[in-house]
């Protein structure tokens, strides 16, 4: 009998091919959701303690990391259409293994649904057999985003706090 393996994005056993898609509903407005995605201080609260900085104009660059501690990612803002759509190239920087993968793409789609929003994050252009670390953190990031916007509180799972201690206390 064949051993059944659980499907897990974090463990790299989810069948993603070259695309991983994550969808979540959040009770918020498109404007508040956009601000949470693009404001470095808010982003650090739900994204492993990592701030993402940019001027958020089309064609501009962005950097994600904890200054003096770790560089996480860098890339270009390919499409910027607030508060509806953000498409970015994504080059992971936190280890030699992920750097070797090169650039992938992340698309943030925001759609109002009643008094809530559907947020779809599409991480695509992944190479065959991509390291699960490239896309495996999205469920925790999106859960932290939802928690922050709906309750004002921070998710306190160990992974969500990974780099937060290096930044100092969250405000």
| Mean pLDDT, 10 residues at a time, the chain of 171 residues | 64 73 97 98 92 97 93 97 98 94 96 97 90 87 96 81 54 45
Is residue 107 in a domain?
yes
Q: What is the pLDDT of residue 135?
A: 86
Is residue 40 in a domain?
yes
CATH assignment at residue 153? 3.30.530.20
Is residue 8 in a domain?
no
Is residue 171 in a domain?
no
Is residue 90 in a domain?
yes
Q: Omega into 83 within 30° of 0, i.e. cis?
A: yes
User: Residue 4 — φ and ψ, nearest 5°?
Assistant: -85, 130
Overall pTM surpassing 0.95 (yes/no): no
Going by DSSP bridges, is the β-strand pair 70-81/85-92 parallel, antiparallel, or unpaired? antiparallel
Provide the domain limits for residue 70.
19-161
Is residue 86 in a domain?
yes
Q: What is the pLDDT of residue 170?
A: 47
Number of domains in the chain: 1
Contact between 53 and 67 under an 8 Å Cβ cutoff? The reply is: no
pLDDT in tens, 95-141: 999 999 999 999 999 999 999 999 999 999 999 888 888 888 899 99
Quote the crossing angle between the two packed helices 30-38 and 138-151, to the nearest 10°. Answer: 130
Nearest to 48 by CA among 143, 122, 113: 143
Is residue 3 in a domain?
no
């Amino acid at each position: 009998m064949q051993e059944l393996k659980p499907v897990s994005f974090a463990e790299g056993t989810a069948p993603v091919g070259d695309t991983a898609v994550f969808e979540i509903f959040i009770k918020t407005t498109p404007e508040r959701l956009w601000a949470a995605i693009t404001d470095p201080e808010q982003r650090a609260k739900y994204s492993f303690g990592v701030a993402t900085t940019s001027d958020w104009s089309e064609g501009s660059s962005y950097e994600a990391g904890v200054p003096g501690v770790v560089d996480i990612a860098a890339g270009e803002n390919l499409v910027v259409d607030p508060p509806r759509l953000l498409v970015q190239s994504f080059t992971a920087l936190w280890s030699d293994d992920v750097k070797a993968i090169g650039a992938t793409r992340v698309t943030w789609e925001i759609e109002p649904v009643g008094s809530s929003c559907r947020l779809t994050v599409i991480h695509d252009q992944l190479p065959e057999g991509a390291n699960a670390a490239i896309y495996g953190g999205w469920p925790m990031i999106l859960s932290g985003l939802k928690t922050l916007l709906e309750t004002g509180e921070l998710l306190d799972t160990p992974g969500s706090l990974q780099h937060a201690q290096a930044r100092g206390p969250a405000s």
